[in-house]
Amino acid sequence: MNEWLLLMLEVIAAVTAFLGMIICLLMVIVAVKRIVPKRRMPKIKIPKKERRTEKMSKEKGEGITFNDIFMFMIAVPLVLLWVGFAGFVIHSGLNDAAVLEQIEGYTTLIAILGGPALLIIKDALDVWKQEQAEKTAFYKVKAQAVIDYNDNVLRQAQDIETKSQEHEHKMQSKK
């Protein structure tokens, strides 16, 4: 049983090391993208009538952020690994009496793995929740700006129509 435990710890260590290398690689890629300017071909501008709301939708892109990658590359596998190991220990304990004799060691191992995992996951979730709150606030401001813009356009169209009707009425009354 101790050999199985050592094998499981080695697998967990290998998976963690692999995920750590992926995170380091992603951080290097993000840093290089920020440092190295993008070379773009000059665009020929063709005049085109564009609405203000279309411009507003292009201002803030909906790309995948580093926090999204971090959540799906680290937090999700770590939680699944941790929960899977705990489930496996419970399943083995129900089917094998030898596991129940050493259940204290298994629960200690789960607690040792789970403590740091919970701290990392909590911090990652806090950052992710903050990012989602910022996106929500941005969309609230954007939606209000679009509403205000549409109200102003309608009000302006109504004013123009009113002035036009007043002008026509004056011209007809002079005849």
Note the pLDDT tens digit of each residue in 60-92. Answer: 556 777 777 777 777 777 777 777 887 888 778
Residue 81 forms part of a structural domain: yes
Residue 103 forms part of a structural domain: yes
Residue 3 forms part of a structural domain: no
For residue 161, what pLDDT is reported? 94
User: Around Cβ 106, how many Cβ atoms within 10 Å?
Assistant: 20
Residue 134 forms part of a structural domain: yes
Which among 78, 74, 82, 79 is positioned nearest to 106, based on CA atoms? 82
* Angle, CA 162 vertex, CA 159 and CA 164 arms, to 5°: 110
For residue 40, what pLDDT is reported? 63
Domain limits for position 75: 15-34+63-166
Residue 88 forms part of a structural domain: yes
Residue 56 forms part of a structural domain: no
Q: Is the dihedral of CA 92, 94, 97, 102 positive or negative?
A: positive
Banded model confidence at residue 57, pLDDT cuts 50, 70, 90: very low
Alpha-helical segments (H) within the chain:
2-35, 52-59, 66-70, 76-95, 97-101, 103-174
> Across residues 26-55, what is the average pLDDT?
64
Count the domains in the chain.
Answer: 1
For residue 14, what pLDDT is reported? 81
